[in-house]
Amino acid sequence: MRRKIKNRNKISPDIRFSSLEIEKLINYVMERGKKEVARKIVYGAFDEIKEEAKADPLEIFQKAVANTSPSVEVRSKRVGGANYQIPREVRPERRLTLALRWIIQAAKSKKGSPMRKKLSAELLLASRGEGEAVKKKENTHRMAEANKAFAHFGW
């Protein structure tokens, strides 16, 4: 029997940069449906990036996402009473989702300053290939490399 096709909501590009990725970032930052607050946080972070780095915040954002998006991840699979971590390639949509999620988690984990400052700092670090989000990606790749022997159990 065929699986039911999922009707996914299409999101519209953001107001300032006309970018779907930035709108997704805004949606991930948003809590309790307060989208305007999330927009202020993200655009505030972009303004801070513009001041600090003296560069285009859109380029820095795209570089940060590219540096934090994983190409492989591990998924658990039960085979004969044992759980194996099986490395799998990551689809492009999930790659973007994971990168944005990790950047926001890394920003939220820091304490003592407004979210826009934490987000701008994390985006700058990620664009340079540093920071918690990039470490998370490297750990994921390391796990996949370590469990390469179980790749033949794949789906």
Q: How many domains does the chain have?
A: 1
Residue 106 falls within a domain, yes or no? yes
The neighbouring-strand residues paired with 78 are 83
Can you give the pTM of this predicted structure? 0.88
Q: Please give the mean pLDDT across all residues of the chain.
A: 91
- At 43, which CATH number? 1.10.455.10
pLDDT score of 154 more than 80: no
Kind and range of the H or E element at 144? helix 131-146
Longest dimension (CA), the chain: 57
Residue 11 falls within a domain, yes or no? no
- Tens-digit pLDDT profile for residues 3-39: 898 898 899 999 999 999 999 999 999 999 999 999 9
CB-based burial label for 57 (10 Å; 0-12, 13-18, 19+): buried
Residue 53 falls within a domain, yes or no? yes
First to last CA, the chain: 18
Rounded Cα distance, 22 and 59, in Å? 12
Q: Concatenated DSSP letters for 10-21?
A: PPPPPTTT--HH
Q: What is the pLDDT of residue 150?
A: 75
- Tens-digit pLDDT profile for residues 43-65: 999 999 999 988 899 999 999 99
Kind and range of the H or E element at 87? strand 82-89
Residue 75 falls within a domain, yes or no? no
Structural domain of 109: 20-70+85-153
Rounded Cα distance, 83 and 75, in Å? 10
Residue 5 falls within a domain, yes or no? no
Q: What is the pLDDT of residue 75?
A: 87
Residue 15 falls within a domain, yes or no? no
Residue 55 falls within a domain, yes or no? yes
- Tens-digit pLDDT profile for residues 97-122: 999 999 999 999 999 999 999 999 99
Residue 6 falls within a domain, yes or no? no
Residue with the two structure tokens 């390391």: 142
pLDDT score of 1 more than 70: yes
Rounded Cα distance, 18 and 69, in Å? 21
